[in-house]
Amino acid sequence: MKNPESFSKRQEANARERNRMHGLNDALDNLRKVVPCYSKTQKLSKIETLRLAKNYIWALSEILRIGKRPDLLTFVQNLCKGLSQPTTNLVAGCLQLNARSFLMGQAGEGAHHARSPYSTFYPPYHSPELGTPPGHGTLDNSKSMKPYNYCSAYESFYESTSPECASPQFEGPLSPPPINYNGIFSLKQEESLDYGKNYNYGMHYCAVPPRGPLGQSSIGHSPPHLIKSEQMLGHCVIGTTLFNVFTSF
């Protein structure tokens, strides 16, 4: 690169490449906002974002295809197929699953052809067509286990939430509104500074226990509890995506 002319051409090419990569990263940021568990402070890596998006699309398309809502645990497990443990923890935390059971269910996922351990959580009322994402083996529906009872707690929490609390109107001018694509909302996460004034968002927050580890879930606590727990969970805020998914049938 001794020639000044070629040097400047190289500089121009570098600038174009930078812009191209910035555009790619912007697109990736947009993707992060519409997959479950969007976090400004704890961004998913590029590869995790793509994996989660793939699983998310697959899971939603399965719901549409089958016309039934799965249990939350199965849904989230499908979301987390192939994700790293930190990301899995984040997603599970966002959705307030019992982390211990959930992670146990994840164990052994490396052996894709083995019987999936989390199949024991699969509810008997489930349509057998609802399998696992491509390349992740199959579920064993032969067991008749008590379904993971997320729905009543999940729905009662949301049903007890006043409509006003679900409104994005409380969000500040710098805070982007919940993203809504065809009626499906993303999960959102707010900056920690906003918690004091925004804890009454209701619909955008996950209900988490006021104390104890992730797995000791209880739903429907008062806003101050939500604030503290959300900070514990990496400020994870649940949007209305799954609310819509799990209550629209």
Our CB check for DNA shows the closer of 46 and 65 to be 46
- Tell whether residue 14 is a contact of DNA (CB under 7 A): yes
Concatenating the DSSP letter of every residue in 75-124 gives HHHHHTTT--HHHHHHHHHHTT--HHHHHHHHTTTT-TTSPPGGGGG--T
- Tell whether residue 231 is a contact of DNA (CB under 7 A): no
Place of tokens 């579920």: 139
Among 27, 30, 47, 197, binds DNA (CB under 7 A): 47
- Tell whether residue 10 is a contact of DNA (CB under 7 A): yes
Ranges within 59-98 binding DNA (CB under 7 A):
84
To the nearest whole angstrom, how small is the minimum distance from the Cβ of residue 120 to DNA? 29
Number of residues lying near DNA (CB under 7 A)? 20
To the nearest whole angstrom, how small is the minimum distance from the Cβ of residue 15 to DNA? 7
Among 12, 140, 164, 191, binds DNA (CB under 7 A): 12
Among 34, 36, 48, 240, binds DNA (CB under 7 A): 48
- Tell whether residue 21 is a contact of DNA (CB under 7 A): yes
Rounded distance between C-alpha atoms, residue 244 and residue 224, angstroms: 25
Please choose, out of 15-23, 176-184, 200-208, 214-222, the segment that lies near DNA by the rule CB under 7 A: 15-23
8 A C-beta contact, residue 204 and residue 238: yes
To the nearest whole angstrom, how small is the minimum distance from the Cβ of residue 234 to DNA? 10
Our CB check for DNA shows the closer of 85 and 156 to be 85
To the nearest whole angstrom, how small is the minimum distance from the Cβ of residue 18 to DNA? 5
Provide the terminal-to-terminal Cα distance of the chain, rounded to the nearest Å.
63
CA distance to 28, 202, 207, 225, per residue, from 199 (Å)? 28, 7, 11, 9
Residue 64 falls in which region: left (phi positive, over 0), alpha (psi -120 to 50) or beta: alpha
- Tell whether residue 149 is a contact of DNA (CB under 7 A): no
Q: 18-26 long-range contacts, Cβ below 8 Å, gap at least 24?
A: none
Among 8, 27, 30, 46, binds DNA (CB under 7 A): 46
Our CB check for DNA shows the closer of 87 and 240 to be 87
Q: How many CA atoms lie within 13 A of 168 on its CB side?
A: 16
Rounded distance between C-alpha atoms, residue 34 and residue 129, angstroms: 26
Given the rule CB under 7 A, which residues bind DNA?
1, 10-18, 20-22, 25, 43, 45-48, 84
